[in-house]
Chains A and B, each alone.
Chain A
Amino acid sequence: MAPTDPTQVMDTILQQVTTADSLIAVANFLKNMNPKDLREAALASPLSTGQDPLLLLSIPQNTLTVLYILTARLAVNNGQAAPTFETLENFCRTFDPEQARLSPDRVTLLAKGIQRLAVSTNNPRSAILPLHFLVTRYAPDPSYLTTIHPIFTVTCLQATHPSAALPVLNNPITSIDTNLSDLTYNDNLIYHYTGGVALAMLKRWAEAEEFFEICVSAPGAVPAALQLEALKKLKLVQLIAKGKTAPLPKYTNQLLLRHFKATPYHQFVNAYPHNVEALREILSKERNLFQSEKNVGLLRQALDRAPRWALKKLTATYLSLNLADIGKAVRISDEGEVRALLLDMIESGDISAAISADGSVTFSDPPPQFTRAQVDEVLKNVQEQSELLEYLEKEMARSKDFLSKAIKGRDDTVGFIGADEDVFSQIAPHGAGIWGIDD
């Protein structure tokens, strides 16, 4: 008769995993053990001798088994069984990624368990380092999106620590492999949305804009609520960074834009930047909504920066003006404030101007400022990006999905496949790249 005592079952598990002839055998054994609840109870238990099985296992050599034990312990409600953050961090620093990849669902459970434990102890900060090691070490390279990514960025935000997310956010996602990680559609949305929020908190507007745009333009049959939230933040970030919004990629779901137009954010965007009174009125009238959606901070920053875009427009028309005239044009009565605004814009490189002691301001074209090293760096970057693009294009061009759609398109009509796939409509008969890169 099979043992039912969890400690005895744990003895059996330990004996099996330490004598198995391959890692695949260990993975299959752990995954297929039945009944599941007895397996989990056993994995969360000590051995029948009372000893902790983790003391007998090596993390690099027995990654899979330790992973199962830790996730089982994180899942039990008994607080005493929960591993310490030191144990979790040690595992995440030293586990063998290749072994862990044999059980991607368990890795997801571990990440979720770490986050949950940190939140339950009112210390989300303590989850950041373990999750950082997990997310940076698990995938073969940082371009892969995994289920750990959104959990990590959400944790950084919960801990009010956006800068901790930067090392991960700095690596753009270009690869998806559902064998590597049990990804869902929402993982991509949540990661890019929360990544955008972290970057916006750090005032890295260009990067935040990119992240929000990726979330907004992720293809789907129907738009997600999160995409609408991302669209609101995207528009506000664009107003803050550039003073105007930019058109969305043409593969963005049109329903999203329709929903956005029905919100007061659309009115705010339309009134920006010249009608400051209208902007204040919208902010005041819809304050409750903006507060509940946590966008008041971005709206206030956009409002504070509205005068600078009006000032920037002046530089296109005038060679010089005095401070009083500038103040009238941007509707700031205090000359000291106008001076401070000019100084701020000159410092950030938004305009090139020189103020004189008599209060006159002369505008000029910004002088080019670059070093040879910067030019070399840009060239190197462009080369790397071109290589990556070429590689991605080739990978996509030989994928089964693409080939079947391309053949279908060629059979049905010449060059047109569908409204949401017009990116493929550029295929020339000889099969040149869809980005126009000649073979």
Chain B
Amino acid sequence: MVLAPPTPPPLSTTEIQDAARGENSSSQTAIAQETQTSGNNGPDTYHLRFPFIVEAVSASDYPKVIQIAEEVDLTAVGNNQTSRLLIIAPLVLAYLILDQSPPARYALARLSESHATHPLSKLLATLLNVTTNRNHSKVYATAATLVELISQPGFFDQDLAMVLTKLTTVFIERFRLRTFELLSRAYNSLTMAQAENYLGVPSETILAEASKNGWEYDSTSQILKPRAFSQKSNNTTNFSSLSTFAFVADSVGRLEA
């Protein structure tokens, strides 16, 4: 053999968290000194960049939230300030809104041990797990618990609480919509109880949304019959555009060349 392999990095969640804790615990003294220094000098990088995240959340630009948060996470100095949650918590929720669980998982895994055991981090980790496993009823319950936590008067940052409340609300809406679309594809018929479990709303709300989307409901047997969620003009013939003409002309030119 020519080369001994580098030690492969951890891949499972447990291995990642163990490695992250091992790395962070050994640096806590140095970082604690740094934290004290930065605390004495005023707001740190996380506080300074947080308003940009607030702006992106207000504009409902979740890819932008991710971009800003990832950049701050790479450039900011210090791992142990609680203010790091100003960046990581919105980052995780933004990934969940876009249904991208793996990078959300690693964002949480990069937290130091003290942050990982923070109630906010633990709830986000739980929300991530139940979302990844598509445990629908637990998703809604965990999201509600999260909102309850950040609504408490003693929550450590009220601006963050506002941002997280909005992000959690948007996440639940999008998750519910994706689930509704999936039910339309995956079920010929389902009971109202099943629909309530999947969608986390009472039957009246389900009926209202179902009738908007052309579902049928038999009140005797309490069976819903979904209609396939319509794709928006996917296979209909659209009029040709100038860009299509340019593309076709270019392709023919290449063939002739």
Contact = CB atoms under 8 A, between A and B. Distances in A.
Interface of A: 89, 121-123, 125-126, 128-129, 154, 157-164, 185-186, 189-190, 193-194, 197, 200-203, 220, 222-226, 228-229, 233, 293-298, 300, 340, 342-344, 346-347, 353-358, 362, 369-372, 376, 379-380, 383, 387
B251 interface: yes
18 contacts: A123-B77, A123-B79, A160-B9, A163-B103, A197-B9, A222-B1, A223-B1, A224-B1, A224-B2, A225-B4, A294-B8, A294-B9, A295-B11, A300-B12, A353-B186, A357-B191, A379-B251, A383-B251
Interface of B: 1-13, 15-16, 19-20, 23-24, 26-27, 30, 70-71, 73-75, 77, 79, 101-103, 106, 109-110, 134, 182, 185-191, 194, 221, 223, 231, 234-235, 238, 244, 247, 251, 254
Contacts of A224: 1-3
A294 B26 CA distance: 22
A2 to B, nearest CB: 42
Given A203-B102, A224-B2, A354 B11 contact: no
Contact of A126 (B26, B30, B77, B231): B77
A356 B188 contact: yes
Contacts of A354: 185-188
A354 B10 CA distance: 38
B3 A128 contact: no
A355 B187 contact: yes
A347 B75 contact: no
B106 A162 contact: yes
Contact of B70 (A163, A346, A356, A380): A163
B79 A158 contact: no
Contacts of B101: 203
Contacts of B231: 369
Nearest to B108: A160
A160 B20 contact: yes
Contacts of B109: 160
A162 B104 CA distance: 11
Nearest to B247: A376
Contacts of B244: 372, 376
Nearest to A84: B77
Contacts of B251: 379, 383
A237 to B, nearest CB: 11
Nearest to A342: B186
A125 B185 contact: no
Interface centre among B2, B102, B182, B234 (most CB of A within 10 A): B2
B103 A125 contact: no
B243 to A, nearest CB: 9
A123 B23 CA distance: 9
Contacts, number: 150
Contacts of B70: 163-164
3 A-B pairs with the lowest CB-CB distances in the bound complex, closest first: A297-B12, A297-B11, A122-B27
Contact of B11 (A123, A125, A294, A353): A294
A220 to B, nearest CB: 7
B225 to A, nearest CB: 9
A296 B247 contact: no
Given A297-B15, A342-B186, A125 B1 contact: no
Contacts of B30: 122
Nearest to A185: B2
Contacts of A298: 11
Contact of B186 (A160, A190, A343): A343
A356 B188 CA distance: 5
B182 A158 contact: no
Contacts of B10: 294, 297
Given A122-B26, A201-B102, A160 B182 contact: no
A154 B7 CA distance: 10
Contacts of A202: 102-103
A346 B106 CA distance: 27
Contacts of B73: 125
Contacts of B106: 160-163, 201
A119 B242 CA distance: 53
A355 B1 contact: no
A156 to B, nearest CB: 10
Given A128-B74, A297-B15, A357 B186 contact: no
Contacts of B7: 294
Contacts of A226: 3, 5-6
Contact of B9 (A121, A158, A347): A158
A128 B23 CA distance: 17
A354 B109 CA distance: 37
A343 B134 contact: yes
A164 B27 CA distance: 23
Contacts of B190: 355, 357
A385 to B, nearest CB: 13
Given A186-B3, A355-B186, A296 B12 contact: yes
